[in-house]
Amino acid sequence: MTPQNLMLLPLSTPKLSIGCPILDGYLGGGIPCNSITELVGESGSGKTQLCLQLTTYVHGVHDAKQLIHVLRDIQAFIVIDHTRLPVKLIVIDSIAAFFRSQYHTTLVDLKRQSKMFFKISGTLKALANKFVLVVVVTNQVVDFIGPHDGVNAVRLGNLECLHTSHRRVGPTLGLAWAHCINSRVFLARHQQSVGVNSRNAPSPTISSQTHRTFDLVFAPHLPHASAEFVIKKECVVGVSR
């Protein structure tokens, strides 16, 4: 590639809109092609709702080995049929589910697991680069228990620690997987008690509200950003400040 060729390339990587201008703004225009973007958060934080907002086609996969086969099928499908129905988005919801039940924590298992992570992410990145695809994976969180130092102090990206539902958490699958993705978005929810005044009640009643946040933990092309969002019946939207 000469400098002249580089000048002919598009200035920026194409981005897939997340369906909300506010959240797109925090992502520098949307989710970028040619890389892997992870949505990480506790159960009920909104990962699937965001994924559904991106896609209309769903395929069930039950374990990591089957995932490798499905990725091969997708590759064949894109290569043969790309002129008929171009695939531009791959969503895996959730990557953590394949590993939590199948692998244990002996050294041999961890080695096998890391090998599988790199095989999956290598395949996804190759597909993303070759066919200019957007790849989104979701990941769960685990609770951090004990002191905030030692292994619990491991900092990844812009945030020192992640909090959701008033718990300190970390992404499932650990450091090895963190090196397999390019960007990470943390979705959190916090239950808040609010007093509601009612005409018929003599004093305010206490009701519970879910407050949701969207944090860009790391991305090669963007600084840290944080936003509030809500899940509505029709869509997921950011809240303007």
Q: Which chain residues interact with ligand ATP by CB under 6 A?
A: 41, 43-49, 140, 231-233
The C-alpha angle 65, 68, 73, rounded to 5 degrees, equals 130
Give 142's contacts (C-beta < 8 A, 6+ positions apart): 169, 170, 171, 172
Q: At closest approach, how far in Å is the CB of 236 from ligand ATP? A: 8
**Contact residues for 108 (Cβ-Cβ < 8 A; gap 6+):** none
| In the complex, least distance from residue 52 CB atom to ligand ATP, rounded to whole angstroms | 8
Question: Do residues 114 and 176 touch, judged by C-beta distance below 8 A?
Answer: yes
61/231 with CB nearer ligand ATP: 231
Q: Which is nearer to ligand ATP, 42 or 78 (CB)?
A: 42
CA 101 to chain centre: 20
Nearer to ligand ATP, 125 or 212 (CB): 212
What is the distance of C-alpha 229 from the center of its chain? 15
CB of 140 to ligand ATP, least distance (A): 6
Closest distance between ligand ATP and the C-beta of residue 48, in Å? 3
84 vs 232 by CB, closer to ligand ATP: 232
